[in-house]
Each structure stands twice: as structure tokens, then as C-alpha cells.
Amino acid sequence: MMRVLGIETSCDETAASIVERDDASGRATILSNIVRSQLDEHAPYGGVVPELAARAHVSHLDHIIARAAETAGMRLGDVDAIAATAGPGLIGGVLVGLTTAKALAAALGKPLIAVNHLEAHALTARLTDGLAFPYLMLLVSGGHSQFVLVRGVGDYERWGTTIDDALGEAFDKVAKLLGLGVPGGPEVEKMALRGDPRRFNFPRPLLKEDRLDFSFSGLKTAVRLAAEQLAPLTDQDVADISASFQRTVAEIVATRARSALAKYATELPGQPLRLVVAGGVAANQAIGAALREAANAAGATLIIPPIPLCTDNGAMVAWAGAERLALGADDPLSFSAKARWPLDSDDMGLDHAA
């Protein structure tokens, strides 16, 4: 059995987890998964303030790690490795987690595994469902919207990405524009339940182009213009705009998913069609339903891990660390934190360079 401590501090969740991996079967067991949200700290500002996020990580990370060990019924010295998100993310927060991991690795004499946050999302379906390679991943979060072919640990091919706003960011900006709370995604979804999704015919950028990229900036602008024309907005106006925006987004994502699955079937003939959805936006029920319909039409299996494991958490980092450790990965204490770290970059192999 291999036990790995995972530390996640890339944005506004302070998280730590201990995950056990059976070397013989590859099966995973989450022994603990502690997450502290910073929602209350950032709510007055309408979004995440990087400096406040980093300070909160400094204040709470040691306690979160101690709780993770206590919940797992272990001492920190009993783990086999220390994994931490090393990027991408808010650099102040990433530095807090990675520096803490380095200190623990040095003090305990354990290997350090520097984890790409996006890879942790990409491998979560193997943690929850034991999924075999290859498969297609749709990552939709506050910072990323992309299709990635997952061939193996450290082996990724990006097929499409956003050319402007990520989907989670678009939800947050629309929520702020409409005077809704934070985080924006759940608030827009809640308001959309009361609205008419066909009142507004918002644009669907890039859908006529033969590519798998996303663009949400123009859609966001269309929402702003509609709101300005109706001002002052009634509660029903807000609900109708929310519902129409959400319907448009769901149609965009589902259309792109159908194209991505068709590409997968063509380029990997004979491989089972599996679409994995990761990231906080995976919690949106309307988007999930649209993706389920698209997957069914393509004869594909749709896999959405439990929502607490789709959003930022330490278990996915611990698991990514365990996957890499099983293949002989071990990073130097000089490994540098990265604000940007594309999943398909040259340094995603098993021989990380500092």
C-alpha cells in the first residue's frame, strides 16, 4: 500500500488529504479529505483577492494538514510521499502549499511530488471510477475550459480551449452583473430555475467554426447589453436572463462535446468512448443534462466524479502524486512554483525539471 499526503492551495480552498493506493490493483481509498473554503473572506469583494487567499492559506494550512492526518488515523511520518499543487494557480497560494510540502518532505525524509493542478483534475476519474486510459476530459472551472485527450499519466493532448473567459469565470461575471452572490455559478443556476430560458436569444460564439475552442466573452457582453436595456431589472428579468444564459452555455458545451467525441472515435478507433467532466462547473445540472444527452447520442459513457472531488480538493492532488510515484516520479526540493503550467506542455512527463 502507498499512502500520499496531498496539499492544494492554488486558489481559495485550503485543502489536504491522505489517499491510499494499492500497488497491486491500483485501487484507491480516500483516508481523509479536509477542505476549508475561503468564501466568507472574499464575499465582500465579489471575487477572489489573491493576497487574502495566500494569507488565509498561511493561517490555516498547518491545521488542515494535521486534521487530515488525524482523520486518517496516521502520523505524518507514516506517509510515503508528499504531493502538492505546484501550479497553475494564484502564485501566492501555490507558493504556500508547495513550500509547506517541501518542508515536510525534507523534515520527514519523504519524496516530493510536484503536481500540476490540471493533471489532478484529469486523473480524478481514475481515483473515483478506476477508469483505464485513454479517455476524453472536459475541464470546466473558474480558470479553465478545455478538451483534453488523456492518454496516460503525464501524456496529454489538448484539443480545444477557451480563447478568452473560462466558463466558470463567465458565470461569475454574469452573476456579478446581475447583482447575485458568490460563487456565481450556483447563484445563476438557482435563479435560472425561476426563469424563462427562451426569452433571450443570446449568441453562441465560434459554434459555426470547425474547431473545439470556446469563447464566452461575447456572450457575456450580450448579457450585459440585455441587462442595460431593461434596467432597472425586476427579479423576473434577472431570472430570465440567468435561464437564457445557462441554456446558451449548455448548448455550446454540448455541441462542442459532440464534436470532440466524433474526433475521438475517428482518431482512436476501437477504443471505448468515455467523456470525463471535471471542474466546479460540472456541478451545474443543466450543463450535466446537456452533456449526458450528447454522450448518449454518441454512444459514449459520461463520467462526472462526485462534486466535492470535481472542485478543488486535496484528494485529487494526493492521487495524482500516488499515480506519479508508482511510476517512479520524484521531484527536487528546488522545483519552482508555476503561475502558468499548460497540461500539454513539454514538462508534463515523469522527469520534472526544476
Please write the tens of the pLDDT for every residue from 226-258: 999 999 999 999 999 999 999 999 999 999 999
**DSSP state, residue 325:** H
Pair 133, 152: CB distance under 8 Å: yes
Q: How confident is the model at residue 43 (pLDDT cuts 50, 70, 90)?
A: confident
- Predicted local confidence at residue 157, as pLDDT: 96
- Predicted local confidence at residue 346, as pLDDT: 66
- Predicted local confidence at residue 353, as pLDDT: 38
- Predicted local confidence at residue 39, as pLDDT: 87
- Predicted local confidence at residue 349, as pLDDT: 63
Pair 121, 105: CB distance under 8 Å: no
- Give CA angle at 153 (151, 154), nearest 5°: 90
Average pLDDT (145-163) is 96
How confident is the model over 326-337, as pLDDT tens digits? 999 999 999 999
Instruction: Please choose, from the candidates 146, 121, 141, 118, the residue with its C-alpha nearest in 3D space to the C-alpha of residue 303.
Output: 121
- At the topology level of CATH, where does 133-306 sit? Nucleotidyltransferase; domain 5 (3.30.420)
pLDDT above 90 as % of the chain: 87
Average pLDDT (203-225) is 93
In the chain, where do the E strands start and end? 2-8, 13-21, 28-37, 81-87, 112-116, 135-140, 145-152, 155-161, 274-278, 301-303
Neighbour order of strands in the sheet with 301-303: 155-161, 145-152, 135-140, 274-278, 301-303
- Predicted local confidence at residue 350, as pLDDT: 62
Instruction: Please choose, from the candidates 290, 287, 315, 291, the residue with its C-alpha nearest in 3D space to the C-alpha of residue 302.
Output: 291
Second-level CATH architecture of 2-127+309-348: 2-Layer Sandwich (3.30)
- Predicted local confidence at residue 106, as pLDDT: 98
Q: How confident is the model at residue 347 (pLDDT cuts 50, 70, 90)?
A: low
Rounded to an integer, what distance in angstroms lies between the CA atom of residue 235 and that of residue 241? 10
Whether 64 shows a pLDDT value over 70: the answer reads yes
Q: Which of 18-22, 327-331, 342-346 shows the lowest per-residue confidence on average (mean pLDDT)?
A: 342-346
Reduce the DSSP state of residue 307 to 3 states and report it: helix
Rounded to an integer, what distance in angstroms lies between the CA atom of residue 216 and that of residue 201? 15
- Predicted local confidence at residue 181, as pLDDT: 83
Helix count and strand count (H, E) for the chain: 11, 10
Rounded to an integer, what distance in angstroms lies between the CA atom of residue 101 and that of residue 332? 12
**DSSP state, residue 36:** E
Whether 26 shows a pLDDT value over 90: the answer reads no
Show me where the domains of the chain are located: 2-127+309-348, 133-306
How confident is the model over 78-137, as pLDDT tens digits? 999 999 999 999 999 999 999 999 999 999 999 999 999 999 999 999 999 999 999 999
Average pLDDT (168-174) is 93
Amino acid at 197: P
Q: What is the mean pLDDT of the chain?
A: 94
Q: How confident is the model at residue 296 (pLDDT cuts 50, 70, 90)?
A: very high
